[in-house]
Amino acid sequence: MKMANPIQWARYRWQRLLSTDRNNSYNSSFPGWFKNSRSQKIGHKNRTVIPCLGRFTEEYEKVIKNYKTNRIQTTKYTLLNFIPMNLFEQFHRAANLYFLFLAILNWVPSVEAFQKEITMLPLVVVLVIIAIKDGLEDYRRYKFDKQINNRRTKVYDKQAKKYRSKWWKDVRVGDFVRLFCNEIIPADMVLLYSTDVDGICHIETSNLDGETNLKQRQVVKGFTELDSEADPEKFTCRIECEGPNNDLSKFKGYMEHWNKERGALSKENLLLRGCMIRNTEAVTGIVVYAGHETKAMMNNHGPRYKHSKLERQLNRDVLWCVALLLVMCLIGAFGHGIWLNGFSKIPIFGIQEPNGTRSHPVLAGFLIFWTMIILLQVLIPISLYVSIEIVKLGQILLLQSDIDLYNESTDSAIQCRALNITEDLGQIEYIFSDKTGTLTENKMIFCRCNIAGVEYFHEDNAKRLELYQDDNSEVVISPFQGAASKSQHSDSIRAPSTPPSRNSLNCLPSNSSILRDKDGFEDEYEITATASHVAFSSSIERDVTPDSLLFRKLGQIMSNPLLLLEETGKELSPEFSYIVDFFFALTICNTVVVSCLAQPGQRVKIPAISNIPIKSLEDIKQMFQRFSVPRMSSPSLSLLKDSFIDNSSTFAGRLLNRVKPASPNAQKEQNVATAGSAKNRKSITGSQISAGEGSNDILEEDDKTAGSFMGAGTSTEQCNNLKLRYEAESPDEAALVHAARAYNCTLISRTSDQVTVELDHIGRLQFQLLHTLPFDAIRKRMSVVVRHPLTNKVVVYTKGADSGMMDLLNISGDRQQKRIREKTQNYLDGYAKEGLRTLCIAKKVMSDADYAEWLKFHLRAETSIDNQEELLLESALKLETNLTLLGSTGIVDRLQEGVPDTILALRKACIKTWVLTGDKQETAVNIAYACKLLEEKDTIFTLNAQNKEACEDLINKLIAEITEQATDEKNTPCVGSSPSSSSDGELHIALVIDGKTLEFALHESLQDAFLELSKRCRAVICCRSTPLQKSKVVHVVREKLKVMTLAIGDGANDVSMIQMADVGIGISGQEGMQAVMSSDFAISRFKHVKKLLLVHGHWCYIRLANMILYFFYKNVAYVNLLFWYQMFCGFSGAPMIDYWILIFFNLLFTSVPPIVYGILDKDVSAETLLQLPELYTSGQRSEAYLPSIFWISILDAFYQSLVCFFIPYFVYFDSDVDVYTFGTPINTAMMFIIFLHLIIEGKTWTWIHWSVMIGSVVLYFAFALIYGGTCVNCNPPSNPYFIMEYELTRPLFYLVCLLATFVALLPRYFFRVFQGTVFPSPLLKARRLDGLRNKERVEPFPDSRLPRATVQHS
């Protein structure tokens, strides 16, 4: 093994150690990429599963007690425990505990401030509202649980000896379950039987990961050969597997047979709960995980919850309010003690002790302290938290209704999955973005390739890409496309229809699978409509125009198929051999599922032909000579179309298809058996056959053979009348398969053990599929192991990134391979500079002995449980060595619409953008230039190092160079703009770093230096980065720099990064819904980020910040009225306002207007915010909610309360008015002050605002009049009876309210006028621009230093 393998192994172990570190919270929680020890829920180390039948009955009864049933319960409450449990949960909140303490305290007679029920009212209202909400949510979960648990499925009954219908909740581990097409899987079960002849079962996993493309699952090895369903009574196997966990992408275990032989189990054998059976008549499995131990249930963590930055600031200021409350209560306690100490005798209002003495002033002060706590409790805004939740809900509804964030082509709007961080969208400072599918379309178009050191440009594809417009047409062929591109959509061959067998079942409704003939031709629209939902299958991806030179070379090879047989003694030239293997690799080395276009998901099947007698090699040669066609000089459209149709099912092709013995021994036996008859046969050449009788005989033989060949199944012939459809898990795979099809190397069928490929002039070849080694982020490649149908040798086809392939090549002593490697590397670098995605294609031919040795180790790795991943990686490294490089491909991924404008807007908004991608450096840099992340005048520093010490030296060197450059810029006279700096003084510097160096830079000792370097760069591009590195980059930047971060991506490899950031955005693209399901917000295009942040983010932050400040101001101002009154009542804790009006003032009368204000207020229009991205910086600097602004609001509240109290005080001084007559104008004036304050601070006023405002005032007076007119003796000894009615008849009441309101608001009003006139903020200037007519609107101005608008009239 080469040195590259130990390096990769060490890197893998290092990443594994990082990913299992309990303290590293940046690990991915999405299963399949890393094992997260924190999120991985392991119940037992291993699990033994045995059936509940036969000889296992006694043992089953013992072990089943340790396993959960299949009944699920996601509810938290029952009818009996709802009230105690809900109260217990609600009193976990500090605010609720605080008000509960006050309610209890008010029941103590010596400190009582209000009537007992009055103090409990605010707490009871909040608790009841939240309890109703929680109860409704839990009842909805209860109904859903009941519906799921009472579903029916077929379970084997050992008493009845047959399958019977049972509820899901009665299914247990070890039960045998039979499922049918379109049925949902009730529990995690190992697949034992499928009606499919190849032991395949298709499942749809959209309920788990959101992906709609079908996945294949395979019957356990050893059960595939069964002709009939396995009998549970005869099942004698034992299953050993890993314990329950939440990793959807892995399943480790083995099945031990009665003879102690072990068969490996993997995720390919596991049917997950919640998935749906598709396109398979029936399956049978044994349950291994049930109920809450299934992987689906263990991934059900409930809704995501994050604390926003504004919420953290709010909690800090609530503590300041608590401190202020304590100070005011202490003042009241000391004041009351001093006041009582001034009486020489017991005052007439004093309460004597039982022994006839008065209370000591210290004790009285202590009791008054608690009385003041009760009286001034409104200072702590309990209603603020409920109001914030309502405001956020309203903001989300407005956000989701924005038509600009709706994508008509995909019929998708923005999704808000996290309901409590909308304001964080207005404070983002760093954006971490994936490239493929996020900045680009993720529609891969085959654009360039090179084979054996020769490049083929495919210029027509590049031209077609420039003219391409995305429309809804799926199968319309442009007349400018090449021959094969057109022929690939015209490959239908009429065949007599035959009834489908049990193995070829169409599970869809009949009307969806029948083509309606109209005037003798197929309805293309219906076919298109059926296939329109398939990912990676748009017309631009499918319709590849082949390179004329390469097409001609491949045509020459295919027109002489005898050259493909090594037994003929003739060999292809090395270049031609590389070309054939190159296209075989493109077609075979993938996991693409082939189905019919008009029958979605119905897999194309090629019947087995083992029972057909195999002719000798001499007969095969004769058939080739009789049916081969002349060499083509040029790829004519009509000739190619006819040859593809006429020769795809030739007799010679069928014969060639049969040369597929399962092993070398079988090949030898067949050669011996046919040797004698081959000698006696007469050789017939193509020139001896005329168009007469002999030709008819051959056609008859051809028909007979065709009948026997296709007799095992009819789905292939049926699909010939339709169109092939490829369902790929990634766009790269789809692009390569479509490209091979353009060269008439067509993938016809894929099963668990064979792949069928159709070649022009030859027909169909069946490759025995031995193994598939899937792609992973460690190896960065995938491989398939097949037995070649022509050479009968074991061949390994591998494709992957050049960084994971070039070190595995066998170039020792092979000058040709060295030359091909050098040329290929040059081509790869050129492709990357053009922004193309590159892949290397390689092969390896193994001897049977080498394959047997590797297979032995691989089987041991597959059956291992504890260290299966490590052993499988080691097995892959053993196989993928000494490869022969065939060539490479270049695939273009078009940039999404609006990405450059969005990047420029984000840069103007002072948001730094980092691109984290797995692509090559050259590719990433090219895309960065295309999307305006990089500009031509930017200086690009590349950070590539081989070890940590070199990385540290390079970082320090770059920092010194940038510092020197910045110093020179400052010392240089500002005659003109320097090419290396922008107009605002920012250096035009970008950093590009590769994945290997990023590992060193993220080391704890280098993090500070790396961040210091990155802070000085306008953009950072991390190439060849793994998902773990993406997550760690976000974590380090967020924690070290203390900045607000946003991560955006579209694939499963972006999940950890999305979850690590303060705000995670998933793009609902073509790579499934994993990113969306793990995100806080989901959008369909990257361009939507612009309005999401600059407009909605700004609005949400400004609205919520102003509303919180207003709540603090309102509560402090109102509470201070009670505090000032204590100076005139001996700090006794008595209020001058009726208790009910006092409680309802904040709870009801003044609570709705600020909520409407927080939902609908707009300081600047959306158009202006988009034109002036610089306005976004106010949110980054938290200008709307600074500590200084908070304390200014508190001081203003103190001033307004002083004015509101003392103006009525001096008016009524030395009069005989009672306490409520004095308090009513104070309370009324404060209400008007609070509402007019809101009008001054508000930016937008609509009929909704005015209606709520007027309605609140009317409600206040209506309650006061009704309460005062009916409450004769509600609050003894004082009485509010007829107080409001009396006050409304007195002019003095109106004068007091008007004077107090005017004087209280005058400073606030003059301050706003002075601020807008003398030193207006950028937002104030932008508001003025909104008032200008379009023709008077000034041009967008740079930075946040907005020019003052000077207009003569508005």
Catalytic residue set: 434
Cα distances (angstroms) measured from residue 751 to each of 591, 605, 1041: 10, 8, 52
Which of 717, 839, 862 lies closest to 220, judged by CA?
Answer: 862
Tokens of 491: 């490959």
Q: How far, in whole angstroms, is CA 290 from its chain's centroid?
A: 27
Instruction: Give the separation between CA 654 and CA 614, rounded to whole angstroms.
Output: 11
Which of 891, 892, 790 lies closest to 841, judged by CA?
Answer: 891
In sequence order, what are the beta bridge partners of 240?
48, 254
In sequence order, what are the beta bridge partners of 797?
784, 843
Q: How far, in whole angstroms, is CA 713 from its chain's centroid?
A: 41
Tokens of 146: 């009941």
Which of 1004, 1236, 1197 lies closest to 26, judged by CA?
Answer: 1004
Supply the Cα-derived Rg of the chain in whole angstroms.
Answer: 39
Burial class of 4 by CB neighbour count within 10 A (0 to 12, 13 to 18, 19+): middle
Sheet holding 724-727, edge to edge: 599-603, 593-596, 724-727
Instruction: Give the separation between CA 896 and CA 902, rounded to whole angstroms.
Output: 11
Instruction: Let me know: does 836 contact 930? Beta carbons within 8 Å.
Output: no
Which of 113, 130, 322 lies closest to 1143, judged by CA?
Answer: 113
Rounded to the nearest 5°, which phi and psi values hold at 146?
Answer: -65, -40
What element of type H or E holds 915?
strand 912-916
Instruction: Give the separation between CA 1102 and CA 1181, rounded to whole angstroms.
Output: 12
Tokens of 275: 């998935």
Query: End-to-end alpha-carbon separation of the chain, Å?
Result: 80
In sequence order, what are the beta bridge partners of 444?
893
Instruction: Let me know: does 252 contact 242? Beta carbons within 8 Å.
Output: yes
Instruction: Give the separation between CA 734 and CA 473, rounded to whole angstroms.
Output: 18
Judged by phi (left if over 0) then psi (alpha if -120 to 50, else beta), residue 681 lies in beta
Burial class of 519 by CB neighbour count within 10 A (0 to 12, 13 to 18, 19+): exposed
Tokens of 744: 């008439």
Query: Cis before residue 499, ω within 30 degrees of 0?
Result: no
Tokens of 174: 């070890």
Pair type for strands 939-943 and 989-993: parallel
Q: How far, in whole angstroms, is CA 1114 from its chain's centroid?
A: 41
Instruction: Give the separation between CA 1021 and CA 914, rounded to whole angstroms.
Output: 6
Q: Which residues of 693-725 are buried (b: 16+ CB within 10 A; e: fewer)?
A: eeeeebeeebeebbeebbebbbbbbbbbebbbb
Which of 296, 38, 73, 339 lies closest to 184, judged by CA?
Answer: 296
Burial class of 689 by CB neighbour count within 10 A (0 to 12, 13 to 18, 19+): middle
Q: How far, in whole angstroms, is CA 599 from its chain's centroid?
A: 29
Q: Which residues of 77-91 are buried (b: 16+ CB within 10 A; e: fewer)?
A: beeeebeeebeeebe
CA trace torsion 335, 338, 341, 347 (10° rounding):
-30
